[in-house]
Amino acid sequence: MVLYKDIVDVIVEEFSQTVDFVAKELDWKNEHVILCYYSSMIDTAVVMEQLQTIQKRFESGKAKWGETAFTKENKFTMKQLKESICAGETVIIFPSSDNMISILLPKIASRGPESPENEYVVRGSHDGFVENLDVNINLIRKKLRSADLKIENRVIGTKSNSTVSIIYLTTKVDTEALDTLKERLDQIETEMMYSSGQLEDYLEDSIWSPFPQFLNTERPDRVIANLVEGKIVILTDSDPTALIGPISLFTFYESPDDFNGRVLVGSFYRLVRLASFFTAIFLPAFYIAVASFHFEIMPLELGEQVKSSVSNIPFRPIFEALLLELMIELIREASIRLPSPIGQTIGVVGGLVIGDAIVSAGLASNLMVIVVASTALASFVVPSVEMNTTIRLLRFPFMVAASLFGFFGIVIGSMILFIHLLNLQSLNQPYLSPVIPFEPKKIKAVFFRLPFYKQIPQHRSFYFFSKKGSKRNG
């Protein structure tokens, strides 16, 4: 049995410099007990009401004092005490029996579900995840009412003790991918786990790849659609973003709007988004190669217009493109950091004014402005912010290769990119599936939005391909 005085001394030593820590001594039926909590993490009125219920049970002796809907009983240890208090629990210590009761009623500060700003849809649900894990799981269970839906928790971070939830459907999930994910989660050693972005670093197959290997979303409907396809969802406490894996490259070009509208309309816009991938990466490089090395491939009239457009520009096309791309990136960053109404104004007015000024000053040609603006629009078509950033990053090496070697540089760069995508995996699953490895029954769903009655299970842009012995890169 731990002495009462020893417990008090240890508690005072551990928490003496924490202003919101409260420790009270109470007398319950001739026994001294100690009440401990963080005042900033509990609703005092609710906890005190529950405390009275526990006290009545304890003093009556008719029921075990730890048996209520909002309490749990543990053996007293200093480690258990600190974990419980830091989790927002109110702890009652009974020195005579070396036991402690935790009241599980923390004060939860959280906003309500709102429409995600980065994943706006014209038609469909407009709720989104929040910073509370229980609320997020509730949003999923409310829309996916199946006993097959399983949730497993991991506590990560020796200091933060953050809860990470693994969510999947037992009848749909690929067990090899699930085992891979659990193994990687169990191997994480860190003091702090504060966001899904940090968690993603530990889970990706190749951390140095520019391509994201998990789909990030704040939309419950998108999570549910992927769960039904056999994907795995990872939620982190205090983060509204869900990670979905394993995924393929083509998953990033699907939008919830595809499945909320007409079949032909959804198919058309999906093809537009897939075409924008090549436009955003290759259009500036193609123009630089033509303007620098390959005038002869253009019709005579068009070639004359290009020559007259660039004749008075003191820079090579690569420097024109880099200057304009830099301006677009600066305007984009400024519009993000500023408040919403001001940011939108900066984006529109800044682009028009700066673009016109650059052309008037003779620092860039009209054609280059058109090319760079078209490229920016093509990159913004992508529904995923992470893939959007990847595309904007990739076009720079292609522009440099085109300025040095013309079309030959573009071909070499394309081969390197293709080889990288062939080797890339998501939870040990191929990144280009179902195109490579080729799956005829599922290939149509990559490029077209099929009617729901023609869709097969696990249809959209993923092919479960087991590859034993595969290793992570990076």
Give domain status of residue 124, yes or no.
no
Contact 196, 236 (CB under 8 A): yes
Describe the strand order of the beta sheet including 99-103 as a list of residue ranges.
Answer: 21-28, 31-38, 90-94, 99-103, 71-75
**Same domain assignment for residues 338 and 415:** yes
pLDDT at position 3: 54
Distance CA 470, CA 183 (A): 14
**Same domain assignment for residues 246 and 290:** no
Phi, psi at 380, each rounded to 5°: -80, -10
Give domain status of residue 447, yes or no.
no
**Same domain assignment for residues 62 and 144:** no
**Same domain assignment for residues 92 and 156:** no
Over the chain (474 residues), the average pLDDT of each successive run of 10 is 63 75 76 80 77 71 55 74 80 74 69 74 80 87 86 87 90 90 90 86 89 91 89 90 90 80 80 89 91 78 73 82 86 76 67 76 82 87 86 91 92 94 90 82 72 56 43 49
**Same domain assignment for residues 197 and 343:** no
**Same domain assignment for residues 233 and 357:** no
- The identity of residue 177, as a single letter, is A
- The identity of residue 396, as a single letter, is F
pLDDT tens column, 223-232: 998 898 889 9
Q: Among 215, 242, 257, which residue terminates a domain?
A: 257
pLDDT at position 243: 93
**Same domain assignment for residues 200 and 281:** no
Give domain status of residue 284, yes or no.
yes
Give domain status of residue 452, yes or no.
no
Phi, psi at 239, each rounded to 5°: -140, 130
Q: Among 224, 257, 290, which residue terminates a domain?
A: 257
393 φψ region: left (φ > 0), alpha (ψ -120 to 50), beta (else): alpha
**Same domain assignment for residues 287 and 215:** no
pLDDT at position 29: 67
pLDDT at position 468: 42
pLDDT at position 20: 79
Phi, psi at 280, each rounded to 5°: -65, -30
Helix (H, G, I), strand (E, B) or coil at 382: coil
Residues 6 or more apart whose Cβ sits within 8 Å of residue 252: 212, 215, 382, 383, 384, 386, 387
Distance CA 27, CA 94 (A): 11
Q: Which helix (H) or strand (E) is 103 found in, with range?
A: strand 99-103
**Same domain assignment for residues 72 and 57:** yes
- Domain count for the chain: 3
Burial 367-395 (b: 16+ CB within 10 A, else e): bbbebbebbbebbebbbbebbbebbbebb
Radius of gyration of the chain, Cα coordinates, nearest whole angstrom: 29
Give domain status of residue 144, yes or no.
yes
Q: Among 103, 120, 149, which residue terminates a domain?
A: 103
pLDDT at position 69: 59
**Same domain assignment for residues 165 and 201:** yes
Give domain status of residue 139, yes or no.
yes
**Same domain assignment for residues 48 and 165:** no
Q: What angle do CA 291, 277, 269 make, to 5 degrees?
A: 125
Give domain status of residue 183, yes or no.
yes
Give domain status of residue 109, yes or no.
no
What token pair was written down for 263?
């079949």
Distance CA 145, CA 167 (A): 13
Q: Which helix (H) or strand (E) is 178 found in, with range?
A: helix 175-186
Tell how far CA 238 is from the center of its chain. 13
Range of the domain at 85: 4-103
pLDDT at position 470: 46
Q: Where are the alpha helices (DSSP H) in 61-128?
A: 78-86
359 φψ region: left (φ > 0), alpha (ψ -120 to 50), beta (else): alpha
**Same domain assignment for residues 81 and 147:** no
